[in-house]
Each structure stands twice: as structure tokens, then as C-alpha cells.
Structure 1
């Protein structure tokens, strides 16, 4: 691979959520601050949304690692579960030992007792659910009922929902309007700006051990931003492939031609020619064709 070629300790653009690479630009730092303020205030529900690839899982893990010892965290990465399996997953995360084939009443009672015991120890419990847009409506309602558990002073459980924008649409459903009212803090993660993307790339290279002055040329960064739209996951994929292309050519710097090779090899990258930017995608393309056909009839 290209690590030795570019004097790197590790690969800088992996797509796994390694918190050592967390990039604290204004957007992500604001989201993290929202989470920390809300949980320290003891809020019941907190919501973080963002498009696919904007770094929600990375933010979630960074948030959990930032909390001090007064917090107990539970993490469910794939919550597309019906209410009972979801409650069993919560119990497992809270290290609750259950009897085989426990009924719903005793399951909820066990969770409540565990939360009370942790509260007596001065602990705050935070449950983080990634990909929350996949939660069935019945499971969202079960989570709302779970947050009814409280002492006279505070909630026994705080829940953070991390999800794609589809989560917002799901929360519009009238059957879970009570849950929507309980979301007191929320933040929407936007893609990186062009300047932030340049700093993001530099940051990840530095963390990976790069000590040179500039590895990606200005032209490479411009092409990379056009193709990725500032979506961190796409930036990582394209930057990684660009480094491979430069290495394959024996180059010490990544140029626009190397990024072009990476874009051609990446199905999910954004169309970047002037024609597609002008037409704005396939919908406008077919509209353009229909207009042309009508004109020449």
C-alpha cells in the first residue's frame, strides 16, 4: 500500500468511525456541544440528524467517549427491532441478568430497578441509538414510555436518536406526537464546506503521521469537493483512491488527474461535469430530452 511511500504511520482515510480522527470543525463541535449540554441538563430525548455519510456514527462514539465517569452509556447500532427485542437489547446493554422467557412486565421492572440502582449511585444513563430512522413506530413509542421512568428530581434514562433525515418524517406521524414534543435538543449535521474539507483532509493526514507541507494540490481539492459534495465518507473513499492512484504513478503529490481516476472508480461520487451541474441530475436530464423532442417534432 502507499503508507511508506507517503511516510504515513497508518491509512488516513478509513471509513470506520475511529474517534482518534474526529475533526472538530464548527459544525461537528456544535453538534457535540449540543449533546454534552443536553445530557448534562438531564433532557429526556435528543435528536441528531444528517445525510448518509455525514459522520453521525463517528459523532456518537466521540460523544460517548467524552462523557465522564458519572455517566453510564448504552449503545444500539441497529435498532430496527420490534418493542420487545429492543427492550431486551437495552437490558443487555445495561448488564441486566434476565430469566429465560421473561415476560414483558418483569422485563420492564428489571430495567426500572437497574436504572434506580444506578441513580442511587449518582450515575446518569444515556442510551444512544444509531440509524434511528429504522425504528418501527411501535418501538419509538416504547422508548417514550421508557423515559417515563424518573425520580422526583430527574429522568432515569436519557435517549439520543442518531438518524438520517427520514427520521424527521417518521416523527411527523400523529401516533408518536408525544415523543416529538419531548425532543428538547436537536441538531442537523451539514456536509463539510470547501474550506472545512481542506482542513479535514489535512487533519486526517496529520493524525496518520504525515509531516510534509501539502499532499493534495489545490486543483485536487477542488475536484475532490465537487465529486464528494463535502460528505465525509465520500471524501474518505475518494481521497484514499486518489492516494492509491498517485502512488501507482510514483507521484509524491496528489493532483487533479489522480482524483479524476478515483471519481471514475467510485459509483457513489457526485456527477461533476459542467453538463450535469447545469442540468442538476437525471430528473432535469430527462426533462431536457423531452423538451428537445417536442421542439423537433
Structure 2
């Protein structure tokens, strides 16, 4: 624990409402003085409204401490109860026996005590904390308790303390009689920024600390910002900051420690981790196979190309529509044109020409994008192939149809009877292709 590390006698930022640690800032001092004056002058009904964590219960305990020798006091905080339970809690806290008594008999016992204390010159003070939880019926019972009075003063001083919900409930028409009897209404607000450091130093001093400032100016400024002047949040921040400081060996609490404590308490969002790009694959990029390829890969590629060519022929004949498709693993595109029935050029993806770039050209890619397919002048709509340099019939069959066998060769020779030497083709020569349902 950090008590020894920071030379503290006791816990300075505890969670119990110890009146010794009450810091009387301007707002708290005014509220305490108002409530004390209301009891002293016998005003009867008072209220104290505060948001959660403002030190309301600590202030009420300080008020009871001041009246402990000159008044009979009762502190009721069990507000989830009915009217009978409320009166029973009151009598028990005043030291009266009330077991087995009905409501009427309880009120008789209470009245006897009030008269007795009034004759002795003492006040009887009832403080009900968290009064916003009381039902309307119980609040009406509280109002009736104020009817215990002498001709010149009220015999029971009642303080209703609670959150802002209590003020809203008291403003309702059904509780108008109770609201009209409240003579003093006190409020507690958050500590001003210049009071937060004094609040912290006050609690450290009560806990036995002395020496150099335990919190740096930057740390105090961050406490002000994160706590918004709410005493309970100040306590939680300082407790966690001291715990972190002790664990990390920091004799002085800096802003980084307070920020870490704020994150732990959920007062500040945690920093999001940086978004790093996904690691780049170390696997080598796939390389495009250059001709000659394996027979199986060429067959698969040729079959796909053949289907695309045949589909393009059908589309061109049907509508003459121009379609642009991305490359199919190749580097260029070739154009397939048709006869007078479909004069629009149709782009068909192809792999690189098996013969490679045509020698003697300044732009190999442009050469590969030249017109390789044309329409036949004698067979309208039947495509023909324009022979390129170094083409052979075997290579073209594998490239276009995906296979090269006797059946394909026989069909090509039937369509092209001038093909006497399959291994020797003339550049620019036209070769008719089989119909779309062949080979």
C-alpha cells in the first residue's frame, strides 16, 4: 500500500463520509451554515439537494457532529421503506423501544420524547438521506411528523437530503403542502477549479502528509479537468494515481500518472492501437509463362480462348456489339472482325502470341494488338486468322483450340486446301477457322 511510500498516517482519499475530511469550500460552507442556522432557529423543515458525489453525506455527518452535545439526532438512510418502517427507524435511532407497536402507539412514544427534550432545552433533529427514494405516501408521513409542535416552536427539525430528483418530486402539485413547509433549501455544487488543489491538500494534511507538493501543477490541472470538480471523482482519481505512483516508484504524481488513472476509471478513453498495414507477402509474384508452355497448360488456355472466340463470333453476328474484356493472363488484345453483317470490331482477350513479338517492329505490344483475325470474304461471318512470322500450324492449333491432333488438322486442311506444309506458313496468309461448334 502507498501509505508508507508517501509517509501517510491514514488513507486520505477514502470512500466513507468521514466529517474530518470535509473541505469547506464556498458552496459547502454556505450550505452547512444555512442548515445549522435553520436548526438553531427552529425552522422545522429544510432540504439539501446535491448531485451524486458532491459530499452531501459527509456534510450531513459534520452537521450531526456539531449538534451531538446539544440535540437528540437521528440519521435515517434506509429510504426503501413504508411509513411504519420509517417511524420505527426514527425511534430506534433515537434510542427508543418500539418493537410490536402499531403506528398510533409509535407516534405517541415519539411525541412524549419531543416534549421531554423541549423542556430540557434540546432540539430533536431528523435527517433523512437519499429522500428521493421515498414514496409519496411516506413523504406525506414525513409532513405529518412536522405537526409535532409547541405554540412557539417546532418540536422536530427535519432535513430532507437527496439528489435533484427530490427537488423535482417536491415541485409536483400532490406534494404542495410539504413543499410549502420547507423553510430553507440548500444546494451543493461542484468545486471551482481553484478549490480542487486546496481540497486535495486538505485531505493529505488530515491524513498526516507533510513535505513537498505531492501532485505536480500539471497533474492538478488534469484532475480538475477529469473530475469536473466533483469530490468523489477527485478522491477516486487521486487514490488511483497514488497507487500507480507507488507501483512505479514516482515520488511526485505527474500528469501521465493522473491520465493513466483516468483511463483506468473510464474517465478517458483508452488510446486506440495504431492501424498497421497488413504484412506484405514474401512469396514471389506469379510469373507469366512464356512460350513454349507445357502441353497441358497450353491446352487449358487454348480451350478458354477458343470459347471466347466462338462466343464473340455469335455476339458479333447477332448484334454487332463491341465488348471490351480484361486480359486473360496476357499482355495484349487482338481484334476479331467480321463480314458485312457485323462490321463492328470486337475485342477478345488473348494470351501473348506464341511466336512472340514480330521482329522488325518498333512496338512489340502494338504488333500483338494488330488484327490477327478477319472475316472470310468467301464465307460470310466465318473468321480467318492472319498468319504472323514464325507461326506453325501445330502452334496455332494449340494456341487457339487447345489441342493438335489428326481431327483438327484434317478440318483445317479441308477449309484451307493450299496448306501443303503445316510447318511452313507465309506471313500475312489467311487461314480459315472451323465453324463455332468445331473442332
TM tier, smaller: 0.7 to 0.9
1-structure distance, mates of 2:85, 2:20: 33
Aligned-pair distance for 1:208?
0.9
Unaligned runs of 5+ in 2: 272-439
2-structure distance, mates of 1:133, 1:103: 26
- 2:239 aligns with 240
Conserved? CA contact 2:263–2:269, under 8 Å: no
- How many residues in Structure 1 have an aligned counterpart in Structure 2? 271
1:41-60 equivalences in 2 (<5 Å)? 41-60=41-60
Aligned-pair distance for 1:69?
2.5
Is the partner of 2:176 in helix, strand or coil?
helix
1-structure distance, mates of 2:175, 2:80: 17
Conserved? CA contact 1:228–1:235, under 8 Å: yes
Change (3 A) 1:263 1:146: same
1:88-167 equivalences in 2 (<5 Å)? 88-98=88-98, 100=100, 102-167=101-166
Q: Greater shift after overlay, 90-99 or 225-234?
A: 90-99
Aligned-pair distance for 1:270?
6.4
Is the partner of 2:46 in helix, strand or coil?
strand
Aligned-pair distance for 1:271?
6.7
- 1:278 aligns with none
- 2:313 aligns with none
Aligned-pair distance for 1:252?
0.7
Aligned-pair distance for 1:3?
1.0
Aligned-pair distance for 1:70?
2.5
1-structure distance, mates of 2:208, 2:93: 36
2-structure distance, mates of 1:136, 1:270: 37
2-structure distance, mates of 1:99, 1:81: 16
1:15-26 equivalences in 2 (<5 Å)? 15-26=15-26
2-structure distance, mates of 1:157, 1:272: 52
2-structure distance, mates of 1:87, 1:99: 11
Conserved? CA contact 1:21–1:204, under 8 Å: yes
Is the partner of 2:5 in helix, strand or coil?
coil
Is the partner of 2:37 in helix, strand or coil?
helix
Aligned-pair distance for 1:78?
2.3
Is the partner of 2:150 in helix, strand or coil?
coil
- 1:281 aligns with none
- 2:10 aligns with 10
The higher relative CO (CA closer than 8 Å, separation ≥ 6) is in 1
Q: Which has the larger radius of gyration?
A: 2
Aligned-pair distance for 1:158?
0.7
Is the partner of 2:121 in helix, strand or coil?
coil
2-structure distance, mates of 1:17, 1:271: 29
1-structure distance, mates of 2:103, 2:66: 34
2-structure distance, mates of 1:137, 1:271: 41
2-structure distance, mates of 1:30, 1:142: 29
2-structure distance, mates of 1:37, 1:17: 22
1:253-268 equivalences in 2 (<5 Å)? 253-267=252-266
- 1:65 aligns with 65
2-structure distance, mates of 1:109, 1:93: 16
- 2:416 aligns with none
Stretches (4+) displaced over 6 A:
270-273
Change (3 A) 1:270 1:250: closer
- 2:311 aligns with none
Aligned-pair distance for 1:80?
2.3
Question: Residues 219-255 of structure 1, C-alpha deviation per residue, up to 9 Å, x if partnerless?
Answer: 1111111111111011001100001111111111000
The root-mean-square deviation of aligned C-alpha atoms, in Å, is 1.5
2-structure distance, mates of 1:115, 1:37: 20
- 1:276 aligns with none
2-structure distance, mates of 1:163, 1:249: 40
Q: Which one has a larger percent helix, Structure 1 or Structure 2?
A: 1
- TM (normalized to structure 2)? 0.60
- 1:85 aligns with 85
Conserved? CA contact 1:28–1:59, under 8 Å: yes
Is the partner of 1:8 in helix, strand or coil?
coil
2-structure distance, mates of 1:208, 1:95: 33
2-structure distance, mates of 1:151, 1:114: 13
1:160-239 equivalences in 2 (<5 Å)? 160-239=159-238
